[in-house]
Amino acid sequence: MKKRRLGNSGLEVSAIGLGCMGMTSGYGAPGSRQEMMALLRAAVERGVTFFDTAEAYGPFRNEELVGEALEPFKGQVVIATKFGWKLHEDGQPGLLGLDSKPERIRQVAEASLRRLRVDAIDLFYQHRVDPEVPIEDVAGAVRDLIREGKVKHFGMSEAAAGTIRRAHAVQPVAALQSEYSLWFRRPEEEVLPVCEELGIGFVPYSPLGKGFLTGKIDDSTRFDETDFRSRLPRFSPEARRQNRALVELLEKFGQRRKATPAQVALAWLLARKPWIVPIPGTTKLARLEENLRAAEIEFTPEELRELDEASSRIPIHGARYPEEIEQWSYR
């Protein structure tokens, strides 16, 4: 597996990481805990060194799973986790709002250290910007944790360009995580230029459009009620029917390289910038291996231009999130 550096931070990780959320929640019933532990360890065996979790996933169960599975590889892998939500203390699902007060950040860090079974959190993201807490206070709180040796690097998620600048002035931001793929390209407008200017790595989550860009989902697909895609406008049957044109483009493009639509989508992201590291999630070994092979694909400038131009002519239907969720992004 090739390696990449996240901006100027010096943080080196595998070119493709692994998003772990779906191993405990979000996309319907996952496999058993033992199956997911085996998958995490199989990822390490195949060269993955970058794993993404959060206290909110589960809540708490995902960090516990990742911590136990990766404990034998302590010092060999990079684990990113997140703070910033109010959660039910008993671990019941559901978000109770935002909370990035400095005392809450410290509380989350201490709990995450225990669940992840590590001495320091490799990358600590603010999950969403909290408008009630100045970003300078947030960055300062993480800076204090870094000075104490409890955190190694500071990250942000779905933040606006101006907010990133303000945080970075207090504590350098190592990585910015936001949704980015061929069917959601908003980061190109302001966020990616700021990351390049400031030397911040970029970590696309949902790089396969929450599974849609794999080509395995169509307008007849039925989602379990525990699958959050059942509530997303972009995953309505009509939107899926109209958005199929983008998948067909990836299928056609992949035929030349004997690549799957997912591999084309991931290889496109890797070709954008050398400091971009996507984190596709999966609960299946075959899908993990398929995704990792995308790191071996290198497009020519002409191929990239053709893919960009062809995809830009395809309108994407449906909002990515309902408004009550979308409001938490790009603050």
Output the tens digit of pLDDT for each of the chain's 331 residues: 999 999 999 999 999 999 999 999 999 888 899 999 999 999 999 999 999 999 999 999 999 999 999 999 999 999 999 999 999 888 888 888 999 999 999 999 999 999 999 999 999 999 999 999 999 999 999 999 999 999 999 999 999 999 999 999 999 999 999 999 999 999 999 999 999 999 999 999 999 999 999 999 999 999 999 999 999 999 999 999 999 999 999 999 999 999 999 999 999 999 999 999 999 999 999 999 999 999 999 999 999 999 999 999 999 999 999 999 999 999 9
Contact 295, 289 (CB under 8 A): no
Say if 264 falls within a structural domain: yes
CA distance 261 to 240: 16
Residues 27, 57, 125, 330: which is the catalytic one? 57
CA distance 248 to 208: 14
| Count: domains in the chain | 1
Say if 331 falls within a structural domain: no
Beta pairing, strands 3-5 & 12-14? antiparallel
**Domain ranges, residue 19:** 3-326
> At 49, is the secondary structure helix, strand, or coil?
coil
CA distance 103 to 109: 10
Q: What φ, ψ does residue 215 adopt, rounded to 5°? A: 85, 5
Determine the residue type at 283.
T
CA distance 141 to 264: 40
HSE-CB of 139 using CA atoms within 13 angstroms: 17
Say if 188 falls within a structural domain: yes
Say if 202 falls within a structural domain: yes
Say if 277 falls within a structural domain: yes
- Tell me the whole-structure pTM to 2 decimals: 0.98
The CATH number for 23's domain is: 3.20.20.100
Contact 299, 38 (CB under 8 A): no
Say if 13 falls within a structural domain: yes
> At 98, is the secondary structure helix, strand, or coil?
strand
Strands in the chain per DSSP E: 3-5, 12-14, 18-19, 50-52, 78-83, 85-87, 95-98, 121-126, 151-157, 173-179, 201-205
Contact 303, 309 (CB under 8 A): no
Q: Is there a catalytic annotation at residue 57?
A: yes
